[in-house]
Amino acid sequence: MPTFMNAINPLYSLSGLVVGALVGFTGVGGGSLMTPLLVLVFGIHPATAVGTDLLYAGLTKIGGSAVHNYNRAVDWRIVGRLAAGSVPAAAVTLLLLNYFGKDTKSVSTIITSVLGFALILTAITLILRRWLLKRLANALDRRSPQQITALTIALGAVLGALVSLSSVGAGAIGVTALLTLYPKMPTVRIVGSDIAHAVPLTLIAGAGHWWIGSVDWSLLFSLLIGSLPGIAIGSALASKVPDRVLRPVLAGTLALIGGKLVF
């Protein structure tokens, strides 16, 4: 027990509390906030930050997925289609990451750049979601069910590679894409399906990072201790924060962080 308690870093736990509260406020995936915080503020190696955050995200989303499933707000057909693309893509990405060496400078640069671009894309998605939904819905309106299935699997593959490299993408980006592919489905089922898919994806990708040695367990436990109550607090207070105020502020923050990582 003393060894475990000594491994807990209060500063990491405080960061988990803040990020958890923001996730509860906004619904944006913790990877968009936690991974750049670990890299830029705490100087954690990019591969370790991504690997640790993936397991952190998977464990924190299990509860949310269970609640959505209990409320019948998960479409398991969509989850299966996404997983059919994301799981193989995540496996290939992790094998390539292990082959080229997670600690090499070139791989660190690639991870940091992908993370930066993913944050910028998330920011654009947050700001332009309505416009994107309208434009893309018109383009996808005449697609056959078979084409929609194929596009969903392709979306899963993109998310699998993106999440495995940056831990970002299964939140705002995934939900927006699913809303365009399934415009007649209630938003709550889209969100529930996205969260349900994120659990196996992040856990599998996180396990892959553990396999190649890029998970810091003391960091993971420290983050969980703070984030679990943080998410509860943020979710309880979310209704008191106007979305029209919070969304642009969050998008601007993500764009600035992404720009710093890329450039």
Q: How many CB atoms lie under 10 A from the CB of residue 64?
A: 19
Confidence (pLDDT) at 89: 95
Q: What is the DSSP letter of 42?
A: S
Return mean pLDDT, the chain.
Answer: 81
List the one residue out of 204, 223, 103, 113 whose CA is nearest residue 166: 113
Confidence (pLDDT) at 134: 76
pLDDT at 5 over 80: no
Which residues have CB under 8 Å from 178's CB, separation 6+? 78, 152, 155, 190, 193, 194
- Top-confidence range, 54-58, 93-97, 238-242, 245-249: 93-97
Please classify residue 206 by burial: count the beta carbons closer than 10 Å to its beta carbon, then call 0-12 exposed, 13-18 middle and 19+ buried: buried
CA distance 126 to 132: 10
Band the pLDDT of 195: cuts 50, 70, 90. Answer: confident
Band the pLDDT of 28: cuts 50, 70, 90. Answer: low
pLDDT digits (tens, 9 = 90+) for 149-177: 999 999 999 999 988 888 777 677 788 88
pLDDT digits (tens, 9 = 90+) for 111-133: 888 888 888 888 888 787 777 77
Query: Which sign does the torsion angle of CA 181, 170, 47, 254 carry?
Result: positive
Mean pLDDT of 4-15: 76
The domain limits of the chain are 7-262
pLDDT at 98 over 80: yes
Cβ(20)–Cβ(46) below 8 Å: no
% of the chain at pLDDT higher than 70: 85
pLDDT digits (tens, 9 = 90+) for 32-67: 778 888 888 888 988 898 899 888 888 877 877 887
Band the pLDDT of 240: cuts 50, 70, 90. Answer: low
pTM of the complete model = 0.80
